[in-house]
Structure 1
């Protein structure tokens, strides 16, 4: 990265004006500087300027996660463990036990699935303040296939006691999550996409709080409860449905655990149907968490939308989102089915 002509930090961060990546179908012209994975290292480096406890580690993915940006500014507080994800998380627990606040980043398939036991036993059980950054979650790895897709991690993580589980919808929300995470008690699993998420929040949300969902649209006919990469698709679907006369509430359920049960109960009492949307298996994730709350409420039409309990296909991410109806068109179609709108 230091050789002449090899440093691509400007490309990844988008420092030169509104630099945009060229793959229009996949990126849809999103400014590079607004992409979550690409601001991760930068934001952590900023936080570390005033907090000497913060350390960052990766498992041979410093460029993919852009933790390279942290390493460039704080090389003495950065560790690349190589392809040793479980060792990295266990070592991070050791660092936390000495008073540090470690942020460890790797693909979600390796963090939340491969290293689940280390997260449970070494981080959550002793309540160590380790922040696991699980990037490239869901089906965002595309052609890399089943071993690299992570459509089970939310289900696995939310069953671990004393573990906070949160999903970032865009770059600004990720900044808010990171800032709020520094002094948050216990271990945390922070789920990201591949860093190409469209903007949901124009500014860093000042009122962000773990366990407190954000209502982005009000409505009375349907509530769409979405998380992570699906929040933007849910907003677009709500806008399109409004053109047909349907009034749709949109809730960003960024924290999967602890879940904002009050927001779910209010939606059940104030709107006519609920649709959950997630880039995850419909079994065990956001939809299951919401269903566990709704079982105590009066019955209303409810549908879980995501990967329908199958191993996801292999292909370009944009094509996979369309296939599983996890893009704006797909979410709109599913909502219309639930509302029985022709």
Structure 2
């Protein structure tokens, strides 16, 4: 029997008896999440009357209820009407407002791609899209709710800034730093379960990626939730004598091409990690940057290949696709071993056999 859903005094749903730690609380999936945006925007709106927030049927799961409770007349609820919400936000922006609109990444970047392109980017209006639950973090909900193509699609939209914070502190830093930005911004946000990477918002600068650890062998470039996984992988690799420099590539457009090329030139190999297809995302951006700078360091792109993700608990999917610390460390090790034999690595370094082993362990 399903437990009745109740609400706590702060407006959050109480799902105390519905937890499943292996699947990010599939039933009570908003319990314990921290998206930062609701509270940060509420604080910013205290001093800036231009800020308004729109939500598409996700008030509680995205924590925008915090903003709605403090600024009810500036909180707009659109229901399951994401494309309409983005179009309405464009209109609000033309009247002097700064609209922030929030929905899952699959519904903003994929479903409403045309609205982002034509309603926001073409007229260059200051609308900010808070695209939560990016990548495969919606697990059980399947392909319609996965967003593994959004970086590739949106990087092609002229005049659109694409930011990918890795934790709530990074999200807060980016929100505060971009209030006055003239054009539209796409914030690619995870599921609110990200481990802390930053302790201070001032650690992060939008004009360059953040180097989190230093190592002499492999440059490990990650974005979004994969940053925490890359850091854990680097700690494991250190015990094997492999030094990995871990870099948080939080600004995907405009891409910091010069800095990335300089970092790559100082290492023997590069591995990019993204909760996204390897076609057109962080890996492709990196390869393009190195080619433009004439840097010959070999790059291996790690993420989903030419495929749609299977359905299952998000944490299990990360293991299946090698996007957990074990999988990332395995890929880096193999890249390091390949480099000792040949500079060219063309085959996948997380193999079908690795995926089969994950399934076997789960059966």
The TM-score with structure 2 as length reference comes to: 0.86
Q: Secondary structure at the match of 1:202?
A: coil
Q: Decide whether aligned partners of structure 1 residues 189 and 74 sit closer, same or farther in structure 2, where only a CA change above 3 A counts.
A: same
Q: Residue 51 of structure 1 is aligned with which of 48, 51, 57?
A: 48
- Rg (Cα) greater in structure: 2
Q: Give 1:263's aligned residue.
A: 259
Counterparts in 2 of 1:34 and 1:127: CA distance versus 1, 3 Å: farther
Match of 1:338 in 2: 335
Counterpart contact for 2:7–2:13, Cα < 8 Å: no
Q: Which residue pairs with 2:321 in the alignment?
A: 324
Q: How do 1:299-314 and structure 2 match up within 5 A?
A: 299-314=296-311
- For 1:218, the equivalent position in structure 2 comes to 214
Asked if residue 80 in structure 1 is aligned to residue 77 in structure 2, the reply is yes
Contact 2:258–2:289 (8 Å) recurs in 1:
no
Change (3 A) 1:172 1:245: same
Q: Counterparts in 2 of 1:105-124, with a 5 A limit?
A: 105-124=102-121
Corresponding residue pairs, total: 330
Q: Distance in 1 between matches of 2:205 and 2:142?
A: 34
- What is the deviation of 1:10? 7.4
TM-score by length of 1: 0.91
* Rounded Cα–Cα distance in structure 2 between residues aligned with 1:125 and 1:84: 21
Aligned counterpart, 1:232: 228
Q: Deviations over 1:242-271 (max 9, x none)?
A: 111111111100011011112211122111
Q: Give 1:34 deviation, angstroms.
A: 8.3
Give the conservation status (yes or no) of the 8 Å contact 1:36–1:192.
Answer: no
3-state secondary structure, aligned to 1:232: helix
Q: Distance in 2 between matches of 1:195 and 1:247?
A: 30
Shift of 1:71: 0.5
TM-superposed CA distance for 1:9, in Å, is 3.9
1:267 and 1:274 in contact (8 A); partners too = no
1:140 aligns with 2:137: yes
- Structure-1 separation of matches of 2:168 and 2:306: 29
Structure 1 residues 11 and 97: alpha-carbon distance in aligned structure 2, compared to 1, 3 A threshold: closer
Q: CA deviation at 1:335?
A: 0.7
Counterpart contact for 1:34–1:171, Cα < 8 Å: no
Q: Which residue of structure 1 aligns with residue 239 of structure 2? A: 243
Q: Are 1:149 and 2:146 counterparts? A: yes
The 1-side partners of 2:262 and 2:126 are apart by 32
Provide the rounded CA distance (Å) in 1 between the counterparts of 2:173 and 2:13.
Answer: 20
Structure-2 change in CA distance of 1:336 and 1:12 (3 Å)? farther
Over 3 Å counting, the alpha-carbon distance change for 1:137 and 1:299 in structure 2 is same
1:194 aligned counterpart, secondary structure: coil
Contact 2:53–2:74, Cα closer than 8 Å, also in 1: yes
Distance in 2 between residues matched to 1:251 and 1:34, nearest whole Å: 27
Please give the alpha-carbon distance, in whole angstroms, between the structure 2 residues aligned to 1:318 and 1:7: 27
String of CA shifts for 1:67-110, please: whole Å, max 9, x gaps.
11110110000001111111100110111111111000001000
Shift of 1:202: 1.8
CA RMSD of aligned residues (A): 2.4
The residue number in structure 1 matching 2:126 is 129
Residue number in structure 2 paired with 1:6: 7
Gaps of 5+ in 2: 341-363
Deviations 1:167-191 (A, max 9, x none): 1100111110111121112000001
